[in-house]
Copies of this chain bind each other. A is one copy, B any other.
Amino acid sequence: MDDSVDRHLARWKGYAPFDERTEGIVTRMQFLVRQLHQAKDRALVEVGLQQFEFETLHWLVAHGGRATPSQLAGELKISPAGITGRLDTLEKAGLLRRTRGERDRRRVDVEISDLGRELWTGAQRIRGEVEDGMVGALGVEERDALNALLKRMLLAVEE
């Protein structure tokens, strides 16, 4: 049984020299991540959140509900400018609050609101289902094997 990447690779044969194994891995990961994004986007419409809004709230909850913009930028791997933009829209939507730091007035304190936490909770369930649908194709020991392989690559890249 062929997947879309097999078909892609088959069409490629002869046109250019490349390692089919490598190309398969890379392309499949790209497709899966893209599928995940799209499926989650669709699912999140139900709770009225967008992917990037959820992602921000998610990390905020992971930090106990509060953090600084730089922390978020670092962990979400987006630019400082990008964070300001995100926080602007999230704050306008009432999902979080921003307050100037007392001790160090350069700092800004970002805190999730009750509404934000509520929507996050609903979204978390839905997103979990989407991820399960994808990973559910594998048995438990296969998931461990996959995780180990991915981790090896990630460690290599992160030095």
A interface, CB within 8 angstroms of B: 1, 3-6, 8, 11-12, 15-16, 18-19, 21-26, 28-36, 39, 61-64, 75, 77, 124, 128, 131-138, 140, 142-147, 149-158
State the CA gap A124–B22 with chains docked (Å): 13
Of B19, B21, B33, B136, which is within 8 A of A33 by CB? B33
Chain B residues near A61: list those with CB within 8 A.
15-16
Query: Measured between C-beta atoms, what is the minimum distance from A27 to chain B in Å?
Result: 9
Q: Contacts A62-B11, A145-B145, A154-B5: A29 and B25 contacting too (C-beta < 8 A)?
A: no
Contact, CB under 8 Å: B145 / A25:
no
Contacts of A154 in B (CB 8 A): 3-5, 28, 31-32, 35
Query: A19 to B153, Cβ gap below 8 A?
Result: no
